[in-house]
Amino acid sequence: MKKNKIFEFIKDLLFPRKCIICGEVIPFGNEDKYVCETCRDNIPYINVKVCEKCGRPLSENETDKYCLECTAKHRTFDKCYAVFPYEVVREGIKRFKFDNIENLGIGFSKLMFDYAKKNFMDEFLNFDYLVPIPIHEKRRKERGFNQTEVLVKELSKLSGIPYDNEILLRHKQTKPQNSLTPKERKDNIKGAFFVNKADLIENKKILIVDDIFTTGSTVEEAAKELYKNGAVNVCVFTLSIT
Ligand SMILES: [Zn+2]
Ligand SMILES: [Zn+2]
């Protein structure tokens, strides 16, 4: 065994790698470091009819192109592509964000890229920039990294689409959205972002990347700012949707 192999082996013994989908321990030497063999054979991507606006699976009483929510209100972004139903990646996302396992984001971005290849590759490669949803400096210090930046960095590496994490910045520290009602979420996030490099996005197509789409108020606020500053098209690519 080479030295780094031995190091990897010891690390795996001490901190066994767990599948980012089902949480099962992945045996050492497995080719895929992020997804176990069982899940690999059947990755639970969203594969039903979805709302053409927000990407959420349509329910039985939603027979139109759009879900009831997107029919009732204006979305500031052009279109959202969602990869997983939130429930199937909830535990993995929690470990990624709150146990500070930055590495898991790489596994998730590989799955996002695989999903893009299967479902919207032509549109995907048309974007000029990938832009992560920024977090406040204080939260970044606590967590050590911005989870959506990890996703974007790897997606950029895989696709060749440039990313810039200083196009959009956050100057307002907001309360965590998950404890709020839809109306409160909207007010909470209002004015949270500003565009820092407007010259870069003028007439450009931007793909915002986020990890969880709940009501959409965060990405809507971000899209609004990007459009206001000259972007010609703004879409969203989210790892999961509730
Ligand atoms: Zn698994
Ligand atoms: Zn919708």
Q: What percentage of the chain has pLDDT greater than the value 70?
A: 98
114/102: higher pLDDT: 114
The CATH class given to the 44-241 domain equals alpha beta
- CA 55/CA 84 separation, integer angstroms: 10
- The pLDDT of residue 100: 67
The separation between CA 136 and the C-alpha centre of its own chain, rounded to angstroms, equals: 17
The separation between CA 240 and the C-alpha centre of its own chain, rounded to angstroms, equals: 7
**Average pLDDT of the segment spanning 116-126:** 97
Average pLDDT, rounded, for the chain: 91
Q: What percentage of the chain has pLDDT greater than the value 90?
A: 67
In this structure, which residues have their CB less than 5 angstroms from ion ligand 2?
51, 53-54, 67, 70
Does 1 score more than 70 pLDDT? no
**Average pLDDT of the segment spanning 108-125:** 97
Q: How confident is the model at residue 141 (pLDDT cuts 50, 70, 90)?
A: confident
Domain boundaries, the chain: 1-42, 44-241
In the reported structure, the alpha carbon of residue 232 is separated from the centroid of ligand 1 by a whole-number distance in angstroms of 39
Does 174 score more than 60 pLDDT? yes
In the reported structure, the alpha carbon of residue 87 is separated from the centroid of ligand 1 by a whole-number distance in angstroms of 14
In the reported structure, the alpha carbon of residue 36 is separated from the centroid of ligand 2 by a whole-number distance in angstroms of 32
